[in-house]
Structure 1
Amino acid sequence: MAKNEQSPLDHKLAALQAATKLGEGRVAEEALASAEQVVQRAGQRRQLSADHTVVGFFGATGSGKSSLFNALTGQDLARAAATRPTTAEPMAAVWGAEGSGPLLDWLEVDQRHHLQGPLAGADSQDTWARLLGSWRGRSRGGSESSGGLIVLDLPDVDSIAVHHRQVAARLSGQVDVLVWVVDPQKYADAVLHREFLEPLSAHRGVTLVVLNQVDRLSEADVATVLASLRQILAADGLGRVPVHAASAETGQGVEALRQAVAEVAQRRSAATERLLSDVRTAAQALGAEDAGGVPAGIGRRAEARLVDALSEASGVNTVVRAVQQSYRLEAGRRTGWPVVRWMARVRQDPLRRLGLRRGDSRDQARGESLGTDDPRVHRTSLPERSPAQRAQADGAIRAVAVGAGEGAPENWRAAIRRAARSHEQQLPDELDQAVSSAELRAGNGSWWWHVINVLQWMALLAAVAGLAWLGVLALAAYLQFDLPPAPDVEGFPIPTLLVAGGLAFGVLLALLTAPLVRLGASRRARHARRRLRSGIAAVARARIVEPVESEIERYGAFREALAAASGRH
C-alpha cells in the first residue's frame, strides 16, 4: 500500500470520527459516546498484534461452553462442574505467544495458557499443522510478522454475579470472533438473544453459533432444535450465521468447530472485519434519527421576506419618511421665496431629530471635532421597537429557520433553528448600526436648487428695486420736488411693474418648483430605502442566513461521513 493511501478501515474510521464531531450537540449523546468508543477501541486494537485472532466463547449458564472450550483445546484448562457459575474470570488458550502479551493486557485477561502444536483430535492435525506452519514460516523470515490464535473461555452472560455479566459484555465488544454456545434447554433464552445476539447482529461475518450437548437428543430432535434455532437467529438478524451441532462430552461436531475456528484464524482478517462491523453499527446508530431528507435551505424569496420584516422592525419606513421630509424642508430653505425662508429654518430637520443627519459639511465638521464621525459608533434616535415589530421580526426569523430545516430530521431542524437565533442578542444593535451607517445623501441637494435660488433672489431684487423707486418718487412728491415721471410700458410705470412682476414671478417660481421638490424627495426616499435594505440585508445574511446555511452544510457533511463510514459509497 502506498504511503499516503488509506485502507478501507482507515477511511471508514476517519469518516466515523468526522461524523461524531459533526454530530455533537445534534445527535443523541448515547450514540455519540458509542461511536467515540468504537473509534478509540479500534485505534487501540490496531496498535496491538494484528497477527493474532481473538476468539471468544460466550454462553448462558449451563450451556457447557467451558467443557466445549476444553474439548476444543484438548486440555483440561477450564473448570466444568455442576455448580453455577463455574467461570469467574476470562481464561485464554494461546497459540503463538509472541506479541500476545499486550493484546491480552488490553483484553484484561490474566489467566493465560500458552499451548504448542495443534488442537487435540487426529482429524485436525493437517489443518492445524498448516496453520502453525504458516505462523512459523512468517516468524522465521517471512515478510509478515508472526501471528497466532487466542481462544477465550468467558463468564456466563446471564450469571447471577454482576461482575461476570459485565466482563462478558465488555469482551463481546472487543474479541475478533464471537462463538455463541447454546444448549437444547436454553437455546431460546431471552437474555441471550435480546441483550447480546440481536444487538450484535451486524457482526454476523465474525459470528459462529454452536448447539452443544446434542448427545442428549435423538437425531430427529437435533434436526428439530437446529431448525428452531436457525429460525430464532434469523429473527435476530443472524440468518446466515454458521450453526454447528456439537457435544463436548462425546466429541461430536468438535472437529468441524475446530476447523471453522482454524479457517477464521488463518484468514487473519477477523479483527478487521469485526472493526468494520463496529464502525457500520456505530454509523447506523448515529444516523438512526436521520430520515434521509435534504433540508430545503433558504431561497431568495424567503431571504427577501426576512429582510422586509427586519426592515419594518428596524424603523426603515420611519427613516424613509424622514428623508422625504428632510429633502422637502431643505428644498424650501434653498429654493423658497427668500422673504419667508426663515419659516423653514425654524422647523427642525426630521433626520437630525433621528440622529441621521450627517451629510452636510456642518455635521461632518461637528462630528470630526467630537470624534463621533466613525460609522461604527453611529446610533439612531429611533423610537424603541414596539411589541408588534418585535413579534414580526421574531416570526420572520422563525419562519426562515423552519422553512430552511424542512426535510431534515427533527434534531437537525432544532439545530438549524438554534443557528438562526445564535446572534439574536446582538441583532437589534447591529440592525440599528446598519440604519445609522447607511449613506442617505441627506446633505446633498439637487443641481437645480442653485438655478431656482438665483431666480428667486433676482425676483426679490426686482420687487425691492421697484419698491425703492416708488418710495423715492413718493418722497419727492411729498417734499414737492419736481422729478420727471417714471417711464412706463404700455401705460404701466416700470417701478410698479418691477414690484408686481417680482412678486408674481417669485410666487409662480415657487408653484412651479413644488412638483420638482416632490419628485426629488421621492427619488431620494427610494435611494435611502435601497441603501437601508442593503445594510439590513448584509446583517441578516451575516447573522441569520449564513449560520443557517453553515448548519445545513454541516448536516450535509454529517450525512456524507455517515455514508462513508457505513460503506454506502
Structure 2
Amino acid sequence: MSRHGDARESSQLDRRLEALNDARELAEGVLPEEPLNEVFSLLERASSRRSLSGDHTVVGFFGATGSGKSSLFNAVSGAEIATAAARRPTTSEPLAGIWGAEGSAPLLDWLEVRNRHHAAAVEGFADEGTGLILLDLPDFDSTRAANREVVQRMVGLVDVLVWVLDPQKYADAAVHNDFLTPLAAHGAVTLVVLNQVDRLPEKDVGPVLESLKGILARDGLGTVQVLGASALLGTGVGRVRSAIRHVALQRQALSQRLAADVAKAARLLREESGDGEAAGVRPATTSRLTDELATAANVPLVVRAVARSYRLESTRRTGWPVTRWLSRFRPDPLRRLNLRSNAPAELSRTSLPPAGAPARARTDAAVREFADYASAGAPGPWRAAIRGAAREGRDRLPDALDQAIAGTDLQASRKSWWWGVFNVVQWLALLTVLAGLGWLGVLAALGYFQMPVPQVPRVEGWPIPTLMIAGGVVLGIFLAVTGKFIAAAAANARSGKARKRLRNAVAAVAQELVVEPVEVEISRLKAFNAALKTAIGR
C-alpha cells in the first residue's frame, strides 16, 4: 500500500474513532453504562495499539482442545516453536513467534506475552523485514478460567484472527456463538483453517469445507477465507502461510481490525439506542404550549384587569367632575394584583391566585403534550431523555411565570391624549354651569333686597344664565358618556397589547425552561445519529 494510501486510511480511521467517541459522549445519561463502558474500553485499546508498532502485524491462532492449533502454528512457523504432542497437550500461556524483533517488545508487553521466540526466516513466508508476530494462544474451551480469560482478551487485541477448527468439532456451537458470530464485522481480518483434513476421506474434504462455509455464512462471515490444511502432512500449510504473508505485507490489518471494532461498537450503540429521529419542535406545538401556560398563569385575568384599570382611570380623569370623585372609592384591579409596582422584575411578585391543582395539572399536561409531539419518532431511550428534559424545569415554571408577568410592562401608567382634552372641556363645562348659577344667584339676591334687577340677555327667548347651566350640564353628561365608549374601545386596544406582551413573556419562560432543553436533547440525538453513521463508515 502506498504512503498516501496509508495516510488516507489512517485519516479515515481517525475520523471514525473520533465519531465513535463523540457518539459515546453524546449518549451518556441516555444509554446504559455497560455498552458505553465497552465502547470506552475499545477506544482506549485502539489508542494504545496505534501508539505501538505499526510495522508489526499480530496474528493470533485460536482453537479448541484437540484441533491441532499448536501443531499448525509450528508448521506455519517452520520450527518447533510451540511444544506439541505429549510434552504440551494444551497451550497454557500465549507464545510468540517473531519475525522482526526491532520495535516488537513494547507491543508484546502490551499484549502481556512473556514467551517470545525470535523465529528464523522462512523462505517465501517471513523474515526480519516482514514485521510479523504469530501467537499460539490457549484453547478457548479450556477448563481453566485463566486460559479462557486470556483468549477473550486476545480476541480483542490481535490484528488478525486465525481460527483453527477440526473435522469433528467444526460446527461446535461454542466457537460459533461465543466467538465467530460476535466478530461478524471482522471478516477482513479473519482466516478460518479446517485442520486435520488428513483424517477425512479425500472425497469428504470438499463437502466438509462447503458445510463449514455455509455455517460461517450464517454467522455473518460469508466472505471469510476458508482453507483446508493438515499440520501433520503439511497439506495446505503453504496456502495458510501465503494468506498470512499477504496480510502482513499489506500493512492494513491493524487499520482493518480497528475499523471493524469501531463498526461493531457503533452497531452496539445503535442496538441500544434504536434507530430514528425526533419530530422536533414545531411552531404550532410551541404556540400551543405558550397558550396553555399563559392560561395556567392567569394571563387572561391580568388582561381583564388591564382593561378594567384603564376604564377606571379614564373615568377618574374624564368623568363629570361632580361625580368622578366617587370612582376614588373603587380599587384599581392592577394594584390589587400588585402589577403597578416599580420594584425590579427579579424582586417583584404578583398577588395573582397561586396555582392550584387544576392549574398545575394543566401545566403538566401542556408540557407532556409538547414533549410527546417533539419526541415523536425518536428511539425509546432518547424519547425518554427528551421528555425528561421537558419535565426538568416544570417545578420552576409557576414562580418563573409569576415573575415574568410581574416584570412585564403593561403600560398601566401611560396616559391617553384624549384624557387631557376631555378633562379641560369637562372643567370648562362645570365652570359654565357655576357661572350660570352665580349669575342667577346675583339676580335673585338683587331682587331679594328690592334693588334694581338688570335685564338678563336672552337668546331665542331663553335667559343666557339658564342656557349656561343647561348647556354645561348637558355637555358634562355627554362627555362622560362619550368618554365611557372611548375608554371601552381604548381599554380593549390596551388589553390586547398587554396580552401580546404577557404572552411574549410567557413564551420566553417556556423557551428557557421547556423548549430549549428539549431542543438540546433533539440536537443531541441528531448529532449522535450522525456520529454513529460516520463511525460505522457509511
Question: CA 1:459 to 1:4, structure 2 compared with 1: closer, same or farther past 3 Å?
Answer: farther
Correspondence 1:288 to 2:271 = yes
The residue number in structure 2 matching 1:535 is 505
Deviation of 1:71 after TM superposition, in Å, equals 2.1
The residue number in structure 1 matching 2:494 is 524
The residue number in structure 2 matching 1:32 is 36
Deviation of 1:523 after TM superposition, in Å, equals 0.5
Correspondence 1:44 to 2:44 = no
The residue number in structure 2 matching 1:362 is none
Deviation of 1:4 after TM superposition, in Å, equals 11
Q: Secondary structure of 1:113's partner?
A: strand
Q: Secondary structure of 1:419's partner?
A: helix
From 437, 453, 465, the equivalent of 2:423 is 453
Q: Secondary structure of 1:421's partner?
A: helix
1:364-413: CA deviation from partner (whole Å, max 9, x where unpaired): xxx4xxxx3x2332221111123222222221221121111212211111
Deviation of 1:109 after TM superposition, in Å, equals 0.8
Deviation of 1:550 after TM superposition, in Å, equals 2.2
Q: Secondary structure of 1:200's partner?
A: helix
The residue number in structure 2 matching 1:484 is 454
From 127, 130, 136, the equivalent of 1:132 is 127
Q: Secondary structure of 1:209's partner?
A: strand
Q: Secondary structure of 2:392's partner?
A: coil
8 Å CA contact 1:79–1:86 kept in 2: the answer is no
Letter in 2 for 1:344: S
The residue number in structure 2 matching 1:277 is 260
From 40, 62, 76, the equivalent of 1:58 is 62
Correspondence 1:181 to 2:164 = yes
Cα distance in 1 for residues equivalent to 2:279 and 2:503: 25
The residue number in structure 2 matching 1:73 is 77
Question: CA 1:64 to 1:4, structure 2 compared with 1: closer, same or farther past 3 Å?
Answer: closer
Cα distance in 2 for residues equivalent to 1:491 and 1:378: 64
Deviation of 1:559 after TM superposition, in Å, equals 1.5
The residue number in structure 1 matching 2:394 is 424
Q: Secondary structure of 1:103's partner?
A: helix
1:338-367: CA deviation from partner (whole Å, max 9, x where unpaired): 111221111111101111114xxxxxxxx4
Correspondence 1:306 to 2:294 = no
From 136, 144, 148, the equivalent of 1:153 is 136
Correspondence 1:170 to 2:153 = yes
Correspondence 1:357 to 2:340 = yes
Deviation of 1:480 after TM superposition, in Å, equals 3.4
Correspondence 1:346 to 2:329 = yes
Cα distance in 2 for residues equivalent to 1:291 and 1:27: 10
8 Å CA contact 1:420–1:545 kept in 2: the answer is yes
From 222, 233, 245, the equivalent of 1:250 is 233
The residue number in structure 2 matching 1:499 is 469
From 99, 102, 106, the equivalent of 1:102 is 106
8 Å CA contact 2:314–2:483 kept in 1: the answer is no
The residue number in structure 1 matching 2:531 is 561
8 Å CA contact 1:61–1:159 kept in 2: the answer is yes
From 301, 325, 331, the equivalent of 2:308 is 325
8 Å CA contact 1:85–1:156 kept in 2: the answer is no
Cα distance in 1 for residues equivalent to 2:449 and 2:89: 144
8 Å CA contact 1:61–1:84 kept in 2: the answer is no
1:126-165: CA deviation from partner (whole Å, max 9, x where unpaired): x13xx427x1xxxxxxxxxxx5111111111121111111
Letter in 1 for 2:127: L
Cα distance in 2 for residues equivalent to 1:105 and 1:253: 32
Question: CA 1:565 to 1:331, structure 2 compared with 1: closer, same or farther past 3 Å?
Answer: same
TM-score of the aligned structures, taking structure 2 as reference length: 0.95
Cα distance in 2 for residues equivalent to 1:500 and 1:256: 126
Letter in 2 for 1:95: W
The residue number in structure 2 matching 1:117 is 121
Cα distance in 2 for residues equivalent to 1:270 and 1:487: 122
1:158-182: CA deviation from partner (whole Å, max 9, x where unpaired): 2111111111011000001101011
Cα distance in 2 for residues equivalent to 1:9 and 1:162: 34
Question: CA 1:83 to 1:428, structure 2 compared with 1: closer, same or farther past 3 Å?
Answer: farther
Correspondence 1:204 to 2:187 = yes
The residue number in structure 2 matching 1:121 is none
From 371, 378, 392, the equivalent of 2:362 is 392
Cα distance in 2 for residues equivalent to 1:66 and 1:185: 17
Q: Secondary structure of 1:170's partner?
A: helix
User: Which 5+ residue runs of structure 1 have no aligned equivalent?
Assistant: 119-124, 136-146, 359-366
Aligned residue pairs: how many?
A: 534
8 Å CA contact 1:290–1:408 kept in 2: the answer is no
Letter in 2 for 1:62: G
1:173-226: CA deviation from partner (whole Å, max 9, x where unpaired): 000110101111111111111010000111010111111122211112222321
Letter in 2 for 1:389: A
From 95, 99, 107, the equivalent of 1:91 is 95
Superposition RMSD in Å: 2.1
Cα distance in 2 for residues equivalent to 1:197 and 1:274: 14
1:466-490: CA deviation from partner (whole Å, max 9, x where unpaired): 2223333333433433433533333
Greater Cα shift, 95-104 or 483-492: 483-492
Identity over aligned pairs, percent: 54
The residue number in structure 2 matching 1:335 is 318
Q: Secondary structure of 2:192's partner?
A: strand
Q: Secondary structure of 1:150's partner?
A: strand
Deviation of 1:545 after TM superposition, in Å, equals 1.9
TM-score of the aligned structures, taking structure 1 as reference length: 0.90
From 222, 225, 231, the equivalent of 2:205 is 222
Correspondence 1:195 to 2:178 = yes
Correspondence 1:315 to 2:305 = no
Cα distance in 2 for residues equivalent to 1:83 and 1:412: 57
1:545-565: CA deviation from partner (whole Å, max 9, x where unpaired): 222222222222111111111
Deviation of 1:291 after TM superposition, in Å, equals 5.0
Cα distance in 2 for residues equivalent to 1:400 and 1:325: 34
1:294-344: CA deviation from partner (whole Å, max 9, x where unpaired): 321111111111111111111110110000000000000000011112211
Letter in 2 for 1:132: D
Q: Secondary structure of 2:20's partner?
A: helix
Deviation of 1:85 after TM superposition, in Å, equals 6.5
Letter in 1 for 2:61: F
Q: Secondary structure of 2:398's partner?
A: helix
8 Å CA contact 2:120–2:127 kept in 1: the answer is no
Greater Cα shift, 258-267 or 89-98: 258-267
Q: Secondary structure of 1:377's partner?
A: coil
